Structure 1
């Protein structure tokens, strides 16, 4: 091969390598899932009405619910999560906590968020990232305040509307 051809091939290959190195790289993949609030269930024997999400219909007491999270990314953790709630209680807030646990149920990490004020409009509570361990699992627990009296003998219910978990992939 003559020197001119070698020089052209070398320059062309060098340019291609430089272009490949300067090419923007895709962002880390994410695995986000949104769940309806109706997937959340009370801890112990409480009956909940389900119309838009999981609601506390008991006018005498609040209760805890748990919301399952499907984990399908291994050893990666949670990038972010959120839960949308309606807080109709003037005296208590909806409180939710996101957990990452080991297979033996010991907590690896958790993050707690609380609604603010009384408002029939949905509020979205944002969680940050959580670490995970191999074979572990995730779940959310929430305190749902008791139903509040409303006009005409009815009640206003606090509830979980939906939740979203974005695993690192």
Structure 2
């Protein structure tokens, strides 16, 4: 596929997502120059076909996504987990998912006594600035957040997230 992309670029395929700039002849010529049939890339895929992005771990299994595809074709609704109707996507297992029920509201009453000592029962707030340099610039946002979570877990840092 790569050589055909380069050929199309050499033949003038630029800004092809813009309808007024798209010229399919560039692509036909590029695929024929590389002796490739573009129809094989445009056809329907079997459900068992291994896709280039299947190696990316999202926490949601491909079987669940295929069942959701069948539901979408059949115009069936999947209930929201926030309504306490779990669809078994396994997304609920994520530590980043907000709780189903909001935390209880504090009762109004006497104010808590003020203490100026160090409190260990409250989370500390940190602010971090970072930038991706070198090869790290190619990391996706999800991969980067997963990496940060794992690094903090290895370091023994307990992280509390706001909802």
Give the shorter-chain TM-score range: under 0.3
Higher strand fraction (1 or 2) = 1
TM-score by length of 2: 0.18
- RCO (CA 8 Å, sep 6+): is it higher in 1 or 2? 1
